[in-house]
Structure formats: C-alpha cells, structure tokens
Amino acid sequence: MTSSRRQILRTAVAATGAGLGALSPLAGAAAAASGTTAPTVAPLANGRPIAATDTPPTLRARRLQPGDTVGLVSPANATYEREPLVIAAESLQALGFKVKFGPHVQARYGQFGGTDAQRAGDINDFFADDSVAGILALSGGSGCNRIVDKLNYALIRRKPKFFGGFSDLTSLVNAIHRQTGLITFHSPVASSEWNEFSVQHFKAVVMDGAPDLLRNVSDKGDQLVPTEDRISTVRPGVAQGRLVGGNLTVLASLAGSAFFPDCRGALLFLEDTNEYIYRLDRCLSTLRLAGALDQLAGVVLGKFTRCGPGDGYGTLTLDEVFDDYFLPLNVPVYRGAMIGHIRRKFTVPVGQMAEMDAQAGTVRLLSSAVS
C-alpha cells in the first residue's frame, strides 16, 4: 500500500473518532460485547412490520452534495483485504464526499461483514447520525436477508437519507422502501469499478435530482453493428409505475414477507448473475405464485450475466423462460437494460414513479428521486 493510500485510510477512519483498531474484527467484536453498538429495532406499526396492504407515503432523501459525509457499511459479505476499502474511500472522495466508516465495516463473521447485530447496528447508527448525509454499501454478496428485520424502520422514517447498493442489497433497498416509503437506490456499491457512465447516472439521479432518462449507450467500435448493450423488445408498449426490483434471486427470497415490494401497478426491474437458467425459472415461478407478476404495469429486464443452462438436458433458453412468464401478462417488457453485475450501470431509484418504453428501451424518471 502506498503512503498516500495509507493516509486516505487513516483520514477516513479518524473521522469516526477512532484509530485503525476500530476497523479490526477483534475490535468490532469487543465493542459489540460491551453493548455499545447494539441496535434499537423498532418496526413501524404497533411493534410489527407494516401489512402487505399498507402503502406508506413516499419519502425523498435530501440530495447528496459535494462535501457531504457518506457512511460506509458492510451489510453483506466481509472484505478480506484492506485494498478494496482504500479504493472505495478514494472513489467516494473523488465524487466529492467525505467518508465515515461504520465501526464494523471490516469485521467478519463467517463470510459476512460482522454479526447480524453489528451489520444492522452500523446502518441504524448511521441513520441516527446527523453528521452522515447518506449510506452506501461497501459490497454485496450475501447476508442482507438475515438483517432485514433488524433495521429501525421508525428511525429511518424520522430521519430519511440516501441509502444505496445492489446485488444482495436488493433485500434492504426494497425493504426500506416497503416499510417506510423512502426512495432508495439500486446503485453501484462503494467498491464498484466507478466509470464515466456509472458516475454520470449516479450524479444525475442522486446529486442533481434530475428526472434522468435511463437509455443504453452502445459503442459498436469497428463492428458493422453493435453487439453489446443491445435492447430487445419482448412486448412493445409504454407504461408508468413505481420502480421496484433488483436481483431476481434475492427478490424472490423475500416473497411472502412484509419486506417484499408492493407490485400493484409497478414497473419491475430484474437482473442476476452466475445462476443456472432452471434456478431463474424457479425464482420467476415464486414471483408468479405469490401473485406479484399479475399486478405489474411493466417489466424491465437488465443483464443476466453468466446465466447459462448448466448440465441439464434440454434446458429452456432465457428467451423462452422470459417469454413464458412475461408475455401472458400483456404489459410492456424489454430486455438488456444496463442494470446488474456489469461495469457500466444505471442508478435506479426504488419507489420512484417512472415511464418505460419497451420499443425504445428506455426508462424515464417522472420527477426527482431526491429533495
């Protein structure tokens, strides 16, 4: 590690009021044992999560601005090396933010970034911390479902602020919106490979508050026709609704719970990675059997990277699976949106009203997703 990177890490950690020891798993465990970081859990309605038929009023966080402090948390997988943490801090600072590390951002419990109480506690504490303007996940992985019922939703509703991430964070961005009405963000995580395209859309949606147009940009290079980032229309049409969704596998795991999104009249966006087609088929069956698909106004399919047939005989193709589940809905559907486990990605506000055009392959935000 270079001396400049060491200084970045020391500076960011110092902002938490602690030294590098606050980033060690042992220090995090000791703090948890002392009772200083135990989260206060308070669901919204009479001590219980809100019912599936309830719809909280929409809340918008204040837009992030240069100079704001962004809290960095690890609600999913642990980060095993120091370098990704340094790169994440550098990236957020390059966006103009100050960085404050959660006390357990470098903790580890099995594959997770700390115990359930530690990971939920860091999120709850940052929502309570008035010096923190927004919260961003360091990385995805797994484990967010373990803490989805441990967030202080009453606190979040009282102190709404930016919350973002993707992949396994699908659980939390949808649960927070479902339980509080706060618009959250299916966005790059802090350790993402930030690039001009991703930064442009993140700034437009989260910092400028623009009614962004999510339109694929494909560079064909020296090829006769573009072969990357193409749009394919499954069923043409135009529809409006609230954006909900994210990673298909994670979303399906929430079905039947109080944290699953309200799909009535919604625009559902989906993506996934490293899953056999038969498993994606199973997840879509779960959504169909839960009654979620029949309520939709439209569907936006993002990237399904490295999702192949596996070793099964005579497997369906992804085209066939999507046709089977979405064509009978008689709603607009298109495939190929720049959403998912890809280098260049949109920032999609969960809970924001939008209009999709399946023929043009676009999603247009109808208003600002932040205040």
Q: At residue 93, does pLDDT exceed 60? A: yes
The type of residue at 289 is: L
pLDDT at 224: 84
**In this predicted structure, what is the pLDDT of residue 227?**
80
Average pLDDT over residues 28-42: 37
Half-sphere exposure of 214 (CA within 13 A, CB side): 30
Q: How far apart are CA 182 and CA 176, in angstroms?
A: 7
Residue, of 154 and 35, whose pLDDT is higher: 154
Least confident range of 92-106, 108-122, 310-324, 337-351: 310-324
Residue 229: its pLDDT value, please?
Answer: 87
pLDDT, tens digit, for every residue of 314-351?
Answer: 789 999 999 999 999 999 999 999 999 999 999 999 99
- Tell me, rounded to whole angstroms, the distance of Cα 285 from its chain centroid: 23
Q: At which residue do the structure tokens 């999603």 appear?
A: 363
Q: For the residues of 326-361, what is the DSSP string, one character each? A: HGGGTS-EEE--S-SSSSS---EEET-EEEEETTTT
Above 60 in pLDDT, residue 19?
Answer: no
Report pLDDT for 80. 86
What whole-number distance in Å separates Cα of residue 197 and Cα of residue 148? 31
Please tell me the predicted confidence (pLDDT) of residue 37: 38
> pLDDT at position 225, please?
87
Would you say residue 153 has pLDDT above 60?
yes
Annotated catalytic sites, by residue?
A: 167, 271, 341
- Collapsed DSSP state (helix, strand, coil) of residue 209: coil
Q: What is the mean pLDDT of the chain?
A: 88
DSSP state of 198: H
Say what the pTM is.
0.86
**Confidence at 219, pLDDT banded by 50, 70, 90:** confident
Residue 255 has what pLDDT?
A: 97
Residue 218 binned pLDDT confidence (cut-offs 50, 70, 90): confident
175 pLDDT above the threshold of 90: yes
Q: How confident is the model at residue 222 (pLDDT cuts 50, 70, 90)?
A: confident
- Residue range 12-40: average pLDDT? 37
Average pLDDT over residues 218-228: 80
Given this model, what pLDDT does residue 55 score? Answer: 74
Dump the DSSP string for 35-61: TSS------SBTTBPPPTT--PPPB-P
What mean pLDDT do residues 49-57 have?
Answer: 67
Domains of the chain: residue spans and CATH: 3-194 (3.40.50.10740), 213-365 (3.50.30.60)
What percentage of residues in the chain have a pLDDT greater than 90? 77
CA-based nearest residue to 18, from 75, 100, 137, 135: 100
Q: How far apart are CA 286 and CA 203, in angstroms?
A: 35
Return the higher-pLDDT residue of 309 and 169.
Answer: 169
Instruction: Give the least confident one: 43-47, 96-100, 235-239.
Output: 43-47
Report the amino acid identity of residue 55. T
Question: In the chain, where does DSSP find H-type helix?
Answer: 3-14, 25-34, 83-94, 116-128, 153-158, 170-180, 196-202, 248-253, 277-289, 318-326
**42 or 125, which is more confident:** 125
Q: Which residues of 212-239 are buried (b: 16+ CB within 10 A; e: fewer)?
A: bebebeeeeeeeeeeeebebebbbebeb
Condensed to tens digits (0 to 9), the pLDDT of residues 235-292 reads 999 999 999 999 999 999 999 999 999 999 999 999 999 899 999 999 999 999 999 9
